């Protein structure tokens, strides 16, 4: 970063100019400017250091929040917003959006847990019982038993995360104690993974599929056993549309609740990660294609169903790289023109600069006519393109 190269030179220049200045007012202005820049510089350093710790330990976000909750400020989330805006690549922008969402979720879970003293007291009693175990193996077995009994609640997880975070950073704690806390922390993470429902595992698989057409096919395969539950592949995960829809709704509600209830204004304004937008598309698709609707199935022609499928999986696809496969499927179904909704893209195509980026991204990669347009408060009275 260029600023680090010139930082010391800048501060020395400010001091020398201030000392050499004969005008007291100008001298005070130079001193004041140096202090303000130093304050901003220190703040940016703290944010960068916290961000690096999170990026180096992506699976330990909860433990980091437990140890450094005071550092997850509105200014830190503003820092993440600014970073996501300067990235040129869509994947880098989305990675920052996902990281911000995970931080917000961890902060919300931490704050909500601290609000209930009774649950913390019960969790402390469980944690004390775990620590009183005669060996690490026995302690880990207790954690696994709590998970199976669905008693490994967020308050107890918070205490274990906090204990490991404190031990990890301590310079006075014995290595034997650190080793115990590490094993308890790992056992907790492993136990939490073991009780994850099959629908959550299935969603992770679906959300990692970047191609919309392939994702639609995988979704259909997940429902293929039907009511008789005769799985074609014993290693595959199957479920029902109703059950998967329930878990998608739970995840979307939790995401939006975290964003709405937080007091961190900058966190509310963070860009939605692509994974959240894909969840929304999956929810809409299941409702349209698999759940019972008030509209009679006979009233919908095959062409109408095909068009809905195309619109849901291609035009609403949140990544610009969905255009090639989307327009291919449209052409195969006899659709010659598609209308793109700019606000459902990542990033949303509102300013002229983003529109130009999109045109470059899809150039020579579309197979039918594509139109786009939309008005939002920010651009309703502005000319975004000539």
Q: Determine the structural domain holding residue 55 and report its residue range.
A: 2-113
DSSP-assigned letter for residue 210:
-
Judgement on whether residues 16 and 108 belong to the same structural domain of the protein:
yes
Residue 314 clears pLDDT 80, i.e. is over it = no
In tens, the pLDDT along 52-86 reads 999 998 888 888 888 888 999 888 988 888 888 78
Which among 96, 113, 130 is the end of a domain? 113
The CA distance from 13 to 254, in Å, is: 51
- With 0-12 CB in 10 A as exposed, 13-18 as middle and 19+ as buried, what is 240? middle
Judgement on whether residues 109 and 25 belong to the same structural domain of the protein:
yes
Judgement on whether residues 59 and 100 belong to the same structural domain of the protein:
yes
Residue 275 contacts residue 267 (beta carbons within 8 Å): no
Q: Evaluate whether residue 244 is within a structural domain.
A: no
Q: What is the CA radius of gyration of the chain?
A: 26
Judgement on whether residues 29 and 98 belong to the same structural domain of the protein:
yes
> In the chain, how many domains are there?
3
Query: Would you place residue 27 in the very low, low, confident or very high pLDDT band (cuts 50, 70, 90)?
Result: confident
In tens, the pLDDT along 140-181 reads 999 999 988 888 887 888 888 888 888 887 888 888 888 999
Q: Evaluate whether residue 64 is within a structural domain.
A: yes
Judgement on whether residues 54 and 31 belong to the same structural domain of the protein:
yes
Judgement on whether residues 329 and 357 belong to the same structural domain of the protein:
yes
Residue 65 contacts residue 110 (beta carbons within 8 Å): yes
Q: Evaluate whether residue 109 is within a structural domain.
A: yes
Looking up tokens 């096919």 gives 217
Q: Evaluate whether residue 153 is within a structural domain.
A: yes
Average pLDDT value for residue range 339-366: 66
The CA distance from 158 to 228, in Å, is: 41
In tens, the pLDDT along 74-125 reads 889 888 888 887 887 777 887 888 888 888 888 887 887 776 767 778 888 9
Q: Evaluate whether residue 385 is within a structural domain.
A: yes
Judgement on whether residues 21 and 70 belong to the same structural domain of the protein:
yes
Least confident stretch, 149-163, 265-279, 299-313, 332-346: 299-313
Half-sphere exposure of 368 (CA within 13 A, CB side): 22
pLDDT mean across residues, the chain: 77
DSSP-assigned letter for residue 173:
S
Which among 140, 175, 194 is the end of a domain? 194
Q: Evaluate whether residue 268 is within a structural domain.
A: no
Average pLDDT value for residue range 192-220: 84
Which among 113, 142, 175 is the end of a domain? 113
Q: Evaluate whether residue 217 is within a structural domain.
A: no
Question: Between the ranges 104-113, 130-139, 282-291, 352-361, where is the mean pLDDT highest?
Answer: 130-139
Judgement on whether residues 85 and 150 belong to the same structural domain of the protein:
no
Looking up tokens 């299941």 gives 286
Judgement on whether residues 181 and 132 belong to the same structural domain of the protein:
yes
How confident is the model at residue 313, as a pLDDT? 42
Nearest to 149 by CA among 131, 169, 125, 126: 126
Report the percent of the chain where pLDDT is more than 70.
73
Judgement on whether residues 48 and 148 belong to the same structural domain of the protein:
no
Residue 382 contacts residue 126 (beta carbons within 8 Å): no
Judgement on whether residues 94 and 143 belong to the same structural domain of the protein:
no
Judgement on whether residues 148 and 50 belong to the same structural domain of the protein:
no
Residue 296 clears pLDDT 60, i.e. is over it = no
Q: Evaluate whether residue 190 is within a structural domain.
A: yes
């Amino acid at each position: 970063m260029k600023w680090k190269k010139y930082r010391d030179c800048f501060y020395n220049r400010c001091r020398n100019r201030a000392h050499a200045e004969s005008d007291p007012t100008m001298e005070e202005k130079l001193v004041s400017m140096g202090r303000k820049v130093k304050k901003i510089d220190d703040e940016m350093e703290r944010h960068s250091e916290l961000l690096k710790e999170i990026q180096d330990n992506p699976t330990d976000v909860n433990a980091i929040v437990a140890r450094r909750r005071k550092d997850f400020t509105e200014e830190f989330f503003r820092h993440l917003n600014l970073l996501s805006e300067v990235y040129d690549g869509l994947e880098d922008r989305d990675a920052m959006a996902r990281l911000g969402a995970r931080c917000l979720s961890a902060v919300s879970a931490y704050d909500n847990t601290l609000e209930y003293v009774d649950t913390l007291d019960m969790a402390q009693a469980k944690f004390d019982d775990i620590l009183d175990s005669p060996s690490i193996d026995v302690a880990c077995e207790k954690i696994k038993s709590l998970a199976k009994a669905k008693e490994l609640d967020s308050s107890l997880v918070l205490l274990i995360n906090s204990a490991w975070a404190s031990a990890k950073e301590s310079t006075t704690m014995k290595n034997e104690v650190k080793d115990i806390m590490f094993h308890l922390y790992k056992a907790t993470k492993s136990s939490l993974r073991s009780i994850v429902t099959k629908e959550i595992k299935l969603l992770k698989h679906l959300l990692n599929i970047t191609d919309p057409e392939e994702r639609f096919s995988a979704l259909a395969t997940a429902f293929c056993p039907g009511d008789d539950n005769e799985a074609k592949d014993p290693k595959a995960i199957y479920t029902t549309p109703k059950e998967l829809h329930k878990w998608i709704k739970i995840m979307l509600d939790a995401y939006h609740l975290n964003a709405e209830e937080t007091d961190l204004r900058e966190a509310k304004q963070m860009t939605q990660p692509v994974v959240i937008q894909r969840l929304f598309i999956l929810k809409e698709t299941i409702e349209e294609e698999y759940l019972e609707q008030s509209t009679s199935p006979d009233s919908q022609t095959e062409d109408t169903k095909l068009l809905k499928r195309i619109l849901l999986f291609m035009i609403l696809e949140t990544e610009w790289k969905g255009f090639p496969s989307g327009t291919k499927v449209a052409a195969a179904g006899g659709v010659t023109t598609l209308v793109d909704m700019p606000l459902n893209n990542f990033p949303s195509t509102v300013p002229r600069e983003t529109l130009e980026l999109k045109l470059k991204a899809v150039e020579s990669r579309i197979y039918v006519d594509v139109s786009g347009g939309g008005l939002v408060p920010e651009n309703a009275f502005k000319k975004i393109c000539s």
